[in-house]
Amino acid sequence: MRAYKPKGNVQAKPYYTDRYWKAPQVAKFDVESDEVFSADLAAIKSKFDVKEAFIQVEQMTVWINPSDIYEVLEFMRDELEYTQLSEMSAIDFLEQRDEFEIFYQMLSMSKRKRIRIKYSIKNGQAVDSISKLFRCADWSEREMYDMFGIEANGHEFMKRILMPYDWQGHPLLKTYPLQGDEFAAWYEVDKIYGKEARDIIGPELRDTAQVDRYDSERFARLGHEVPKGMDPDVEENKDKTQSYQEDGGVFMIKKLDKESSKVIDDPQR
Amino acid sequence: MAQHKINYTQDGGLPVALTSIDKIVNWGRSNSLWALTYGLACCGIEMMASGASRYDFDRFGTIFRASPRQADVMIVAGTLTKKHAEFIKRLYDQMTEPRWVISMGSCANTGGMFNTYATVQGADRIIPVDLYLPGCAPRPETLQYGVMLLQKKIRANKAGRAQKAKRLM
C-alpha cells in the first residue's frame, strides 16, 4: 500500500514543486589553494583537532571542537597574528540538527586575511567564554545569551544586554514569533499598570491592513482641520475649515493670513 | 536733573491692556510650551532641526528642556521600545500639570513599520496623547504646525477650571 498523505489542504498546496531543486551553495575551495591559509591551518592542526577546513569567498572556515575554542583563539591571536575578533554569534539550527553553530570571525591586519572559527553545540549546552582574550567578546557573548539563550562559562556578567532583564524568551530563535509571544504582547502593560489593566487598555493592534472608517472623522488632516465628525471633502464644509488662530485673533498675536503669507515651494531656493 | 514724566494716557499706545484671566493665562501657557527633549529615533533629528536656527522653534516660545520638571509638553519623537516604556511613563508622571503629549511620527503613533515583539504599538498604550502627527519622519514644519494646533487647543480651554488629571486609566 501507498503511504497515506493528508489531503485536507490540497487546495492550499502549490501546484508545482521542483523535486530536483537544490539550495544554491557558495563554492568551497581547497585550503591548499592559498599559501597563507595553508600555513595557518598547518599551525592550527599541529596543536588542535580540526574537523574540517575550506575556503569560501576568500576566507578560510575552520571547524574545531567546542572545548578548544579558548586555546585556538589565544594561539591565533598570539602566534598567527589574527589580532582582532570582528564578530561572533550563533546560528539556530535547532530544527534541522538540534544544535547551534557558533562562529568567531577573526581578522589579521598584517596578513590581510580573515578566518572564521566554527563549532556546533547541542541545545542547552554552554560555551566557553573568550571575553578574557578579547574585550569585545564581552558584549557579544551577552548578546548571544540574550538572543539565543546560550550561556558562556566564565563570563563575568552573564546577563541580557538588549532586552530588559525581566524579559522571557530569546527573540532570535527561529521558533520565536516575530510579533512576540503572549509575554511580549503584554509586557509593558503588565509591568506598568499590572495584569488587571489588560482589559482596559486592550490588545495590540497588529493588523497593518486594518482600515477603520471612523479614523477620517476622529483624526483631522493637516491643514484641513474641521470640527469633529465633519467631512472636509464635502463642498459646503470647505469654509468651515478651522484656521490655526481663533476668530478675532489672540491677545498680542497677529492673526495668520494665508492669502498674504508667502509660500516657499521652490526646493532649490 | 531731568524730570521724567510719563503720561500713560497721552496717546493710543497704552502700555495697558485689558483682558480676561482666561486669556492671559492661556496666552502665557500656549506661548511658552517648553518641550521635554525626547528624541527616541530618527524623528528626533527632525525635532532637533525644528529647534535649530533654520526652523527656529523659539519663535513659538518652545524651548527644549532636559528635565521633565520644567517641561509642559512631551514630544515623543521616535520608536518607543518595550524596554523604554516604563521610563516614558515615569518621565510623564514627573511632568507638572498641566501637561500635554505630542506623538510624533508613525512609530510613536502606531508602532509604524516596527510590527515586532520589541516595539510598543503606539505611545497611547502607555500615556495619554493629545496630538498625533503623521509622517515618517514628519518634517519640522509639521511639528511646528502641530505645536500651533496644540496652542489653539490650550487657548480653547478655560484656564481657571480645575485641571482634570489626565490618566490613561
Please state, in angstroms and rounded to a whole number, the distance separating the CA atoms of residues A196 and A212: 27
pLDDT at A221: 72
Query: CB–CB of A185/A198 below 8 Å?
Result: no
A187 to chain B, closest Cα gap in Å: 7
Q: Which of B100, B84, B85 is nearest to B36 (CA)?
A: B100
Residue-wise pLDDT for A70-125, tens only, equals 999 999 999 999 999 999 999 999 988 999 999 999 999 999 999 999 999 999 99
Domain assignment of residue B114, yes or no? yes
> At B162, is the pLDDT very low, low, confident or very high (cuts 50, 70, 90)?
low
Domain holding B70, by residue range, is 28-156
- Percent helix, strand and coil across chain A, each to the nearest 5: 25, 20, 55
Contact B155 A246 (CB under 8 A): yes
pLDDT band, very low/low/confident/very high, at A39 (cuts 50, 70, 90): very high
Task: Give pLDDT, residue B103.
Answer: 94
Helix (H, G, I), strand (E, B) or coil at A162: coil
CB contact under 8 A, A244 and B126: no
- The minimum CA-CA distance between A230 and chain B, rounded to whole Å, is 18
CATH of the domain at B40: 3.40.50.12280
What ipTM score was computed for the predicted complex, to two decimals? 0.79
Determine how β-strand B35-36 pairs with β-strand B64-65: parallel
The CB density around residue B161, as the number of other CB atoms within 10 Å, is 8
Contact status of A188 with chain B (Cβ, < 8 Å):
yes
CA A259-A265-A269 angle, 5° bins: 125
Q: Is the pLDDT of residue B25 over 60?
A: yes
Chain B residues lying within 8 Å of A253, measured CB to CB: 27, 31
Contact B9, B48 (CB under 8 A): no
Q: How far is CA B162 from CA A209, A216, B48, B97, B99, in A?
A: 41, 32, 34, 11, 14
What does the pLDDT read at residue A219?
74
Residue B38 resides in a domain: yes
Check B116 against A180: CB less than 8 A apart.
Answer: yes
Is the pLDDT reported for residue B9 higher than 60? Answer: no
Tell me if B89 is assigned to a ligand binding site.
no
The answer to whether the CB atoms of A252 and B155 lie below 8 A apart is: no
The pLDDT of residue B141 is above 70:
yes
Rounded to an integer, the average pLDDT of A4-27 is: 76
- CA–CA min distance A161, chain B (Å): 11
Closest Cα to residue A111, out of A86, A84, A144? A84
Q: What is the pLDDT of residue B7?
A: 60
Contacts of A191 in chain B (CB under 8 A): 85-86
Q: Convert A233-254 into a string of H (helix), E (strand) and C (coil).
A: CCHHHHHHCCCCCCCCCECCEC
- Contact across the interface for A191 and B145, Cβ inside 8 Å: no
Judge: B117–A192 Cβ closer than 8 Å, yes or no.
no
Q: Is the dihedral of CA A201, B82, B62, B71 positive or negative?
A: positive
Q: Is residue B74 in some structural domain?
A: yes
Q: Is B112 within the bounds of a domain?
A: yes
Which residue in B83, B133, B136, B167 has the most chain A C-beta atoms within 10 A of its own C-beta, making it the best mutation to test that interface? B83
Report the gap between the CA of A219 and the closest CA in chain B (Å): 8
Cis peptide bond prior to B68, omega within 30° of 0: no
CA contacts within 13 A on the Cβ side of A253 = 25
Q: Which helix (H) or strand (E) holds A41?
A: helix A35-47
For residue B10, pLDDT over 80 is answered with no
Select the residue of A178, A188, A225 nearest B82 (Cβ to Cβ).
A188
Total domains present in chain B: 1
Residue tagged 532586552 (cell numbers):
A163
Whether residue A168 has pLDDT greater than 70 = yes
Backbone φ, ψ for residue A132 (5° rounding): -75, -30
Radius of gyration from C-alpha coordinates of chain A: 30
Task: Find the residue in B nearest to A177 (Cα).
Answer: B117
User: Which residue is closest to A170 within chain B, CA to CA?
Assistant: B117
To which residue does cell 504646525 refer? B145
Average pLDDT over residues A218-240: 74
Q: What is the pLDDT of residue A84?
A: 95
For B169, the closest of A177, A193, A252 (CB atoms) is A193
Gap from B117 CA to chain A (nearest CA, Å): 4
| B17 labeled part of a ligand binding site | no
Angle at which helices A69-78 and A35-47 cross, to 10°: 130
| B67 touches B38 (CB < 8 A) | no
Q: Which amino acid does the sequence have at A76?
A: M
**Residue A209, burial from CB neighbour count under 10 angstroms (0-12, 13-18, 19+):** exposed
pLDDT of residue A121: 95
- B136–chain A Cβ distance below 8 A for any pair: no
Indicate which of B55, B80, B82, B107 best probes the interface with A, i.e. most A CBs within 10 Å of its own CB.
B82
Count other C-beta atoms under 10 Å from residue B44's C-beta: 20
Cβ pair A244:B145 closer than 8 A = yes
C-alpha cell at A14: 502549490
Cβ neighbours of residue B88 closer than 8 Å, sequence gap 6 or more? B38, B76, B80, B123, B126, B127
Residue A3 has pLDDT above 70, yes or no: yes
Judged by average pLDDT, the poorest of A42-46, A177-181, A235-239 is A235-239
Please tell us whether the domain made up of A28-153 is placed in CATH 3.30.460.80: yes
A212 in reach of chain B (CB within 8 A): no
Contact at 8 Å (CB) between B36 and B8? no
B3 inside domain: no
Flag if B122 and A205 touch (Cβ within 8 Å).
Answer: yes
